[in-house]
Amino acid sequence: MTLMKERKADHIEICASENVSPGYCYWDDVKLIHEALPELNADSIDMSVHILRKKLSFPFIVTAITGGFSGAKKINANIAEACAELGIGMGVGSQRAAMENIDRESYAVIRDYDVPLVIGNVGAPQLVKQKDKNAFTEEMMCDALDLISADVIAIHLNFLQEIAQPEGDTNACGCFDAIRNIAGKCPMIVKETGAGISKKTAKRLSGIGVAAIDIAGMGGTSFSAVEMYRAAAKKDHIRESIGRTFFDWGIPSPVSLMSVGKDIPVIASGGIRNGLHAANSIALGACCAGAANLVLKDAMVSADAVKKRLTIIREELRGAMMLTGSKNIKALASADRVVLGRTKEWMDQL
Ligand SMILES: Cc1cc2nc3c(=O)[nH]c(=O)nc-3n(C[C@H](O)[C@H](O)[C@H](O)COP(=O)(O)O)c2cc1C
């Protein structure tokens, strides 16, 4: 197995079997105010949204997970089938492998399903030269997007992971210019991978034509934790220690969401574990919620298991809309709420 295939397989295995999330649930700090007399019929609530010129039946995206090793095809197919049936968005994992002609079919399988919003994925570190590796060319990127008929490209920011990873690509110089260059040519999401996006960085990105950001904040999957487990298995004690130290590094997801504000459409992810968390994120200003780890184990089993998980999310979201008297997503966005606990402590100092 190549190093990249091995890393991809390790990530799936570790995320499905180990504790990779900090213990505290920041999304539970958000409390929507109960409406005892909602004057709504739950069956008539309109949960649809338009995002990036596509209509989703409810505001949810299964964000980037995998591609590029043999087990990834089944996972992507199961997620794609469920997302197509439920009418929501899906991202594939980093397409670096596809660009290096490895297991391209594990990504291309998404084309077999009618997913309403298909999101490609390239890492910011691959946009610039790294030690002995050259930056990917525009042609390679266009090819990766064509491979899955992507509606939009997501450029992921994962420098937390890169510093914790034994084989990490740690040169970030030039990434912003490279992002600006691509944003001028195709619709783009910039996403984090578990450490959140600050107000300052969001402002820089909104100024160069990025269509949306996915904050992917701290509180869900920690790639520092993932790399800690990988390093421990390889007896690399230095990287294991770095991974442990930075386990809960980052901006908590709801804090990142609130501080970014409304300059740019925001996808809220990082620790979303149920439909109430998704509702909380909409009430705090997100246009859509997203999750990865939530569906991973189901995706390793069957499309039906993923459908069941996502149906629970949708019905919990509907419940929250009913109980806040929100007849549609716009109404939910202005629902009354309070913010407590550590999330409030963060916000008080920003
Ligand atoms: C197994 C696994 C693999 C991931 N691989 C990628 C990736 O290739 N590209 C990317 O942008 N994000 C990747 N992510 C990050 C997710 O898209 C998401 O931003 C992050 O996990 C936070 O969401 P969560 O707490 O719901 O997992 C991955 C997440 C998981 C769990």
- Per-residue pLDDT reduced to its tens digit, 150-200: 999 999 999 999 999 877 899 999 999 999 999 988 999 999 999 999 999
The pLDDT, as a whole number, for residue 104 is 94
Q: Is the pLDDT of residue 53 over 70?
A: yes
Q: Which residue among 293, 295, 300 is best mutated to probe the pocket of ligand 1, counting the most ligand atoms within 8 A of its Cβ?
A: 293
What is the tens place of the pLDDT at every residue in 270-322? 999 999 999 999 999 999 999 999 999 999 999 999 999 999 999 999 999 99
- Burial status of residue 19 (CB atoms within 10 A of its CB: 0-12, 13-18, 19 or more): exposed
Q: Cα(138) to centroid of ligand 1, in Å?
A: 24
Superfamily of domain 3-349: Aldolase class I (3.20.20.70)
Residue 274 CA to residue 315 CA, distance in Å, equals: 10
Q: Count CA atoms within 13 Å of residue 186 on its CB side.
A: 19
The pLDDT, as a whole number, for residue 1 is 54
Q: Which residue among 12, 83, 221 is best mutated to probe the pocket of ligand 1, counting the most ligand atoms within 8 A of its Cβ?
A: 221
Strands 337-339 and 30-32: antiparallel
What is the DSSP-derived secondary structure letter of residue 134?
Answer: P
Residues 6+ apart with CB under 8 A from 312: 274, 275
* 256 in contact with ligand 1, CB cutoff 6 A: no
Tell me the whole-structure pTM to 2 decimals: 0.97
Q: Which residue among 65, 103, 248, 277 is best mutated to probe the pocket of ligand 1, counting the most ligand atoms within 8 A of its Cβ?
A: 65
Residue 330 CA to residue 29 CA, distance in Å, equals: 22
* 93 in contact with ligand 1, CB cutoff 6 A: yes
Q: Is the pLDDT of residue 5 over 80?
A: no
DSSP states along 135-184: PPPHHHHHHHHHHHT-SEEEEEE-HHHHHHSTT-----TTHHHHHHHHHT
CB burial readout 221-243, b (16+ within 10 A) else e: bbbbbbbbbbbeeeebeebbebb
Nearest protein CA to atom 3 of ligand 1, as residue: 65
What is the DSSP-derived secondary structure letter of residue 328?
Answer: B
Q: Cα(46) to centroid of ligand 1, in Å?
A: 29
Q: Which of 182, 192, 130 is nearest to 159 (CA)?
A: 192
Q: Which of 95, 150, 147 is nearest to 118 (CA)?
A: 150
Share of the chain above pLDDT 90, in %: 91
Tokens of 241: 């220690």
The pLDDT, as a whole number, for residue 255 is 98
Q: Cα(43) to centroid of ligand 1, in Å?
A: 33
Tokens of 54: 């596509």
Mutual angle of helices 253-260 and 275-283, in 10-degree steps: 20
Q: Cα(323) to centroid of ligand 1, in Å?
A: 31
Q: Which of 84, 89, 85 is nearest to 54 (CA)?
A: 89
CB burial readout 272-287, b (16+ within 10 A) else e: bbbbbbbbbbbbbbbb
* 270 in contact with ligand 1, CB cutoff 6 A: yes
